[in-house]
Amino acid sequence: MSDTPCPACQSHRTVPIYSLDAIPVQSCILLDTEEEARSFPRRPLHLELCKSCGFVFNALFELEMVDYASTTEESQHFSGTFNRFAQTLVQDIAARERLDGRLVLEIGCGKGDFLKELVATTGSRGLGVDPGFIPDRLPGTDDREIRFQREYFDPANIAERPDYVVCRHTLEHIPEVGPFMSDVSAVLDGRRDVGIFFETPDVARVLDEGAFWDIYYEHCSYFTLGSHARLFRQAGLGVQKTDLAYEGQYIIQYAQPGDTPALAQEDDLEELHALAETFPEKVAQVRRHWHDFVADRHRDGRRVAIWGGGSKGVSFLTTDGLGDMVANVVDVNPHKQGKYLPGAGLRVSAPDELREAPPDTVIVMNPVYVEEIRADLAAMDLHPELVAV
């Protein structure tokens, strides 16, 4: 057992499960030159599992190394596949809650795309809070009332109590998850009729698949369905529904202040302990596979491209130093194009640039997008070997 207390439940029953000596401290940051990208700061990662509550965390995380107010680009809304998924979430919230004229608070709203869609669909009023919000990125809001505060979430800075709280892909970036959930409870100001929706990556899949590309510095906190629910209940928030979505990659959880009966999906500690025990061998095997896969094609003179210039791509390239064997990194997000990936130093290109030097192999950083990417390649009359991590 480790001396490190669990940030979620304060138990000392924590055990190490994975370590890396040095990885880029940010993976969605936009860098202007190869030199700047290759010299970007790195820090070690040391994941530990709390055997009491199932929370997984980076015990060596340094919050001061990550600046979310800097020029970052995390948006996935340039993908039709992702947009369709986001719209299903909006429709689900709209079906569960009557939000017309009511205030929706989104904590960690990113560039505001999801909140804009939710406000337009439900007739609600929106307040988005995120230090990385860029006003110029979000044009008109269909005459609906929507406001943004470009700052880190602090309940003291929320002037009007919300009627609904949304938090997507933010909790995994929070090191002190217990106090954060206390802040979420505090912003409700004692109200019991406020709905809550959270979306967070599922670490059980990462452990099961040995998915090292889904482990990176900004993600200092990792959850399963059970540990996610336990954190909520500890903060006085009753879980109403919890499930996996996006081909099992994301935890989707609905909650409300108060107590609710435990759900069957929350009973996962025994399974999680087993996954953690086999993870070191599994991830070593998967890392060897992908190193050899890229190295063999590079040795044979084949051009390898990575499709996905976000966090997964950075982790895939830097964990085992694959960057020098990859010819291209492609991303559909125009704000990433022309910029350089931290650590790897590779320039992100638009898909059209593949016409100039067609790849022999394209590695897709998320299997959800394979068919969308296959269609994009076919539209350019390109038919490379297409594989997904």
- In SS3 terms, 318-338 reads as HHCCCHHHCCEEECCCCCCCC
Residues paired with 254 in a beta bridge: 197, 241
80-271 CATH fold: Rossmann fold (3.40.50)
Question: Which residue has tokens 């970052």?
Answer: 72
Residues paired with 57 in a beta bridge: 48, 221
Q: Are 93 and 118 in contact (CB under 8 A)?
A: yes
Taking alpha carbons only, the member of 67, 65, 84, 64 closest to residue 76 is 84
Per-residue pLDDT of the chain (389 residues; tens, 9 = 90+): 667 899 999 999 999 999 999 999 999 888 999 999 999 999 999 999 999 999 999 999 999 999 887 776 565 666 778 889 899 999 999 999 999 999 999 999 998 999 999 999 999 999 999 998 888 777 655 456 899 999 999 999 999 999 999 999 999 999 999 999 999 999 999 999 999 999 999 999 999 999 999 999 999 999 999 999 999 999 999 999 999 999 999 999 999 999 999 999 999 999 999 999 999 999 999 999 999 999 999 999 999 999 999 999 999 999 999 999 999 999 999 888 999 999 999 999 999 999 999 999 999 999 999 999 999 999 999 999 999 99
